[in-house]
Amino acid sequence: MARLNVNPTRMELNRLKKRLKTARRGHKLLKDKRDELMKKFITIVKENIKLREEMELRVTDAHSSFVIARAVMHTENLEEALMFPKKQIGLGVSENNIMSVRVPVFDFEETAENDTNIYPYGLNSTSGELDGAVYNLTQAFPVLIALAEKEKTAQLLAREIEKTRRRVNALEYIMIPQLEETIKYITMKLDENERGNITRLMKVKDMMIEEQRQKHSEY
């Protein structure tokens, strides 16, 4: 493992030790965050699968009934029947915070005076098959919106999980070992210096004693 390119000084050592402490704390926190995000993600994905299956079923129903309606009606009649919608739909977007990931929340509002009469066309020039198609699509719409919300949430969470996992891994496999390695290197270097110093002192002491001894013998 490569160590950092730093001067092996005591000041640097203290600095690196501090950094290592922070990195370890960060690593633990990020790991916790990742685990929690995963938990949330799995719940959302489960809901997502359920919604998607429901949506596919409803949209397929709506689509096939539209095809049938289109088969028994003139194209122009069908287009005329649907050209001016009766229902107004409001879609509000707000934000929710999941582990500091900002996910969208869709508020779906329908404004229809009469819930049973959602059909914007008269009955004389349209086929009853179209009623079924419009009804199926109306039923599919809230599911579609809910699915859009969940799917976007899942996407954003997945991105965040990916990011967090990369950070955790970077800390765990690169940053922390690197710091440890460098700290070890500096400690060893300092110890080595210390030992060198002691040896030098001892040598100097010996030399001085030798010098003293020679002076004494001259006198």
Partner 1 sequence: MLPETRYAYAVARVRVAELNMLNRARLERMLESDTVDGALRVLHEAGYSESGDYEEILARETAFIYSYLREISPEPAMFDLFSYRYDSHNIKVLLKAEFSGLEETSMLVDNGVFDKNNLSIMIRDRELGKLPREFSDAIHGAVDAFSRTRDPQVIDILIDRAYYILFSRLAKEAGCELLEELAAATIDISNLNSFIRIKGRMEDLDLLSRILISGGKIPVRRYLDAFGADIDAFLNEVKGHGYNTLVEIAIENKGRVTEFEKACDNFIIKMVGKFRYKAFGIGPLVGYMLGKETDIKNARIILVGKTNRINNDIIRERLRDSYV
Binding residues for partner 1 (CB under 8 A): 64, 67-68, 70-72, 74-77, 79-81, 83-86, 113-114, 116-117, 119-129, 131-132, 135
Of 18 and 74, nearer to partner 1 (C-beta) is 74
Tell me whether residue 7 or residue 124 sits nearer to partner 1 (CB atom): 124
> Min. distance of Cβ 124 from partner 1 in angstroms?
4
Q: Which is nearer to partner 1, 134 or 183 (CB)?
A: 134
| Residues β-bridged to residue 92 | 107
Output the smallest distance, CB 84 to partner 1, in A: 4
Whichever of 106 and 119 has its CB closer to partner 1, that residue is: 119
In whole angstroms, how close is the CB of 107 to partner 1 at the nearest point? Answer: 23
- In the bound complex, what is the minimum distance in angstroms from residue 86's beta carbon to partner 1? 6
The residue (of 114 and 214) whose beta carbon lies closer to partner 1 is 114
> CB of 110: closest distance to partner 1 in angstroms?
15
